[in-house]
Amino acid sequence: MNIDARRPFRMLASASLIAIAAGPVQAAAQEAVDEGFADDQEIIVTGEKEGYVAISSAGLKTDTPLLDTPQTVSVVTREQLDDQALQDIGDILRYTPGASIGQGEGNRDQITIRGQNTTADFFVDGIRDDVQYFRPLYNIERVEIHKGPNAMIFGRGGGGGIINRVTKSPIADHQFGEATASVDSFGAYFLGGDLNLSVGDTAAFRINGLYEEFNNHRDFFDGRRFAVNPTFGAELGDQTRILLSYEYVDDDRAVDRGNPAELRAAGNSCSFADPCGPLAGYRDTLFGQPGTNRTTLQAHIVKLRVEHDFSDELSFSSTTQYGDYDKLYRNIYPVDAVSNDIRLTPASNSVTLDGYVDTTDRENFISQGNLLWTGDTGGLGHSLLLGYEIGQQQSANARRDILFAASNDDLVVVPLTDPIVVPAFSFPAFNRSTVSDLNFLSLYVQDQISIGDHFDLIGGVRFDRFDLDVNDIQSGLLLNRTDEKFSPRFGAIYKPQENISIYASYAKSFLPRSGDQFLTLNPTNANLAPETFVNYEIGVKWDLTSGLSLTTALFRLDRDDQAILLDNQGNSTLSGSRTEGVEFQLVGKLTDQWQINAGYSYLDGQQRNASSVGGQDLRLFQVPEHMISLWTKYDVTEQFAGGIGVTHQSSQFATNDNTVRIPAFTRVDAALYYDVSESVQVQLNVENLFDADYYPAVHNNDNISTGEPLNARLTVKFGF
């Protein structure tokens, strides 16, 4: 692609003030997209969509078209979020090839992408959002799932990929709003609002809000969430723009860690040769204590973005974000006493319980800046990016183990009944209390080089300095670990014609020994270098039409130095993993009335340097070999439409010991839509249409979530 073709995408990267409003009934917002803006404003609408197809992503920090990004990126637009009534990250990943959800111990988002499990590889508008909680989607324009290591762009972690949420932004010179009300079969409901107010021709104020009450099929499950996000954007002259936003999230819900694996008598335990399945017959039973099983979160997030165009070729943007998070969760949950504590061996008609209280206070301060130059040198087109990121993350985490009066221990055996009867307990003493102070500095450079009309090269490298101090109050230890790492990324693209790209890429990432949440630093791993991730990928992207895109990729992802394993002689070794796979995705409009998002992934995830069992290598946990997803919507008339969705996952192992297998499942969803008028829309979404029994998420061998039975959700939207 020549440099003139690249210029509009540099302008995309510099326009955070303008965005498309969500919702099919927002006529005023759509009019803003259709009409565009005056040329002298030099503003391009970001995230412009054609149904389910997104034009670009944040994968190169330059809003490069997805067609020219040498990496697999799945994007879920606002329109698809609304059509499927998707409320959480977990809902999205059910329709994303190569990615699956974890249970997250019932208190957080936890995901596995290309075989790599994480609780922290989440971003908002390209800024790290790594605290453990359930992320709402009420203020989101689109969600991007970037596959493979991403340290060059996003920093540490991201070994299998990252999830980036792109928020809604104010729209100048337009006023519109939308109100949404929804209720489902279990009595769960939510109320949402989106209001955009113009402040003259060059500024606007937008506020998104959400209130919801939780309920589902599980006994004693309840909760509520409130969130609000006011945002102000303005142009300060022809060359400078600012965006200021504040978000408050208050989440209070029951913690449900699911069911144990099937219970067996002593001497007939689960094994690799004879794996267990989930405990059947207790789909709705809480293996915990109502009221005690609880998690709360209060989050305050302030963000300032400033953009300035020095010229048509040179621009600078900076984003500064401060976040204050207060998290609590208490839980009583089932455990496998045989493998976790030899003191207790339950009979087949009983279950062992454990529990604890965990609190986290986190303050994040992150500042990021990007200088972008586009131009020509010697007949070559360039998009040269120079950037930095500095930040500090301070965390205080504490945990108190449970003490059961009946056993005078943190474990107790109780009869397997419905409901579970939990004996008297308390949380008397801390068994962990740490304070951590993380300071990091990142510098990066990247160049996108156009060689004629058919070849693009992309290369970059990032330097990270990661300095962590941990005060382990319980042990009295003061620990420190400083890492300095370079993370390269290279890609080559061949375009035989404008709408087809064939690419090859290499990317590397790292994860410090303190882990996702800075909680695992100890005298042993404080002396170890970070884990490394290396991804090799080839793929093809083909825009079949302006609104229909086909992507396919073949990749190999290696993770090294993952953990310390001990053999029978007490010798240690560093383990790792390899995931090889292929992904396909077809997204967009088959006709003017027919939209589709279909995907398939094959993942072969194997542990490396780990002991084999029966001559076979152990598989990576929570990695289904086959994942198939299909969502399609057809507009029967201008007022009436219908949708159908299917997701399938093959069986997977709950943990790396491969002793508990989660069975395969297929779930069918459906939807109907009716436009009562230009400003009122009614839709009915039905999940699990055929009432299948399935297990959608797992945390370990004895924390296995049961899927909801048939559930209908009625939604009404009012546009104004």
7 pLDDT above the threshold of 80: no
CA angle 240, 299, 389 (to 5 degrees): 45
- The average pLDDT across 708-713 equals 97
> What would the mean pLDDT of 182-196 be, rounded to a whole number?
97
Is pLDDT above 50 for 6? no
Is the CB of residue 490 less than 8 Å from the CB of residue 449?
no
Confidence band for 284, pLDDT divided at 50, 70 and 90: very high
% of the chain exceeding 70 in pLDDT: 88
Residue 525 has what pLDDT? 76
- The pTM (predicted TM-score) of the whole model is 0.91
pLDDT at 133: 96
Going by C-alpha positions, the residue among 680, 584, 684 that lies closest to residue 27 is 680
pLDDT at residue 8 tops 60 = no
- Name the residue range of residue 55's domain: 3-719
Amino acid in position 209 = G
Do residues 392 and 365 touch, judged by C-beta distance below 8 A?
yes
Give the residue-averaged pLDDT of 303-319: 97
Which token pair is 695? Answer: 């297990």
Residues 6+ apart with CB under 8 A from 599: 74, 95, 96, 97, 583, 584, 585, 586, 627, 628, 629, 630
**Amino acid occupying residue 363:** E
Distance CA 236, CA 369 (A): 19
Q: What pLDDT, on a 0 to 100 scale, did the predictor assign at position 267?
A: 63
Per-residue model confidence (pLDDT) at position 59: 79
Q: 3-class DSSP state for residue 290? A: coil
Query: Where do we find the tokens 């990317």?
Result: 507
* Number of independent structural domains in the chain: 1
- Cα 211 to the chain's mean position, in Å? 21
Q: How many CA atoms does the CB half-sphere of 218 hold within 13 Å?
A: 24
Nearest to 598 by CA among 647, 555, 652: 647
DSSP characters over 355-398: EEEEEEEEEEEEEEEEEEEEEEETTEEEEEEEEEEEEEEEEEEE
Give φ, ψ of 621 to 5 degrees.
-80, 155
Neighbouring-strand partners of residue 366: 321, 391
Residues 320, 66, 78, 148, CA torsion sign? negative
Show the tokens assigned to 720: 């104004």
Distance CA 345, CA 336 (A): 9
| Alpha carbons 429 and 119: distance in angstroms, whole number | 27
Average pLDDT over residues 129-136: 95
The secondary structure of residue 174, as a DSSP letter, is: -
For residue 228, CA distances in Å to 123, 192, 207, 249 come to 18, 10, 7, 7
Give the closest residue to 354 by CA, choosing from 399, 316, 305, 418: 399
DSSP structure class, residue 613: B
Determine which helix (DSSP H) or strand (DSSP E) holds 81, and give its type and residue range.
helix 78-83
H runs (alpha helix) in 635-698: none
d(CA 292, CA 402): 11
Where does residue 602 rank: exposed (0-12), middle (13-18), buried (19+ CB within 10 A)? middle
User: Which CATH number is 601's domain given?
Assistant: 2.40.170.20
Q: What is the pLDDT of residues 254-270, one digit of tens each?
A: 999 999 998 776 667 78
Give the SS3 label for residue 547. coil
Omega before 419 within 30 of 0, i.e. cis: yes
Residue predicted with more confidence, 30 or 77: 77
d(CA 529, CA 182): 49
Name the β-bridge partners of 551: 541, 585
pLDDT score recorded for residue 646: 97
Range 347-362 average pLDDT: 91
Measured between alpha carbons, how far is residue 720 from residues 80, 102, 197, 677 in Å?
21, 39, 12, 12
pLDDT of residue 561 exceeding 80, the answer is: no
SS3 467: strand
Residue 443 has pLDDT above 50, yes or no: yes
570: its two tokens:
């007490």
Q: Beta strand pairing status for 698-700 and 703-704? A: antiparallel
| Size of the chain, expressed as the number of residues it contains | 720
Distance between CA atoms of residues 325 and 75, nearest Å: 28
CB atoms within 10 A of CB 287: 26
Instruction: State how far the Cα of 299 lies from the Cα of 139, in Å rounded to an integer.
Output: 15
Q: Pick 56 or 105 by higher pLDDT.
A: 105
Flag whether pLDDT at 37 surpasses 60. no
Q: Report the sign of the C-alpha dihedral through residues 262, 267, 269, 272, in that order.
A: negative
pLDDT higher than threshold 50 for residue 187: yes
Task: Give percent helix, percent strand, percent coil of the chain, each to the nearest 5.
Answer: 5, 55, 35
Largest separation between any pair of C-alpha atoms in the chain: 80
pLDDT at 19 over 70: no
- Residue 572 pLDDT > 70, yes or no? no
**Helix, strand, or coil (residue 340):** helix
Which comes out higher in pLDDT, residue 607 or 557?
A: 557
* Closest alpha carbon to 7 in 315, 238, 240: 315
pLDDT computed for residue 474 by the predictor: 86
Q: Which residue is it, tokens 């208190």?
A: 107
Per-residue pLDDT reduced to its tens digit, 370-402:
999 999 998 899 999 999 999 999 999 999 999
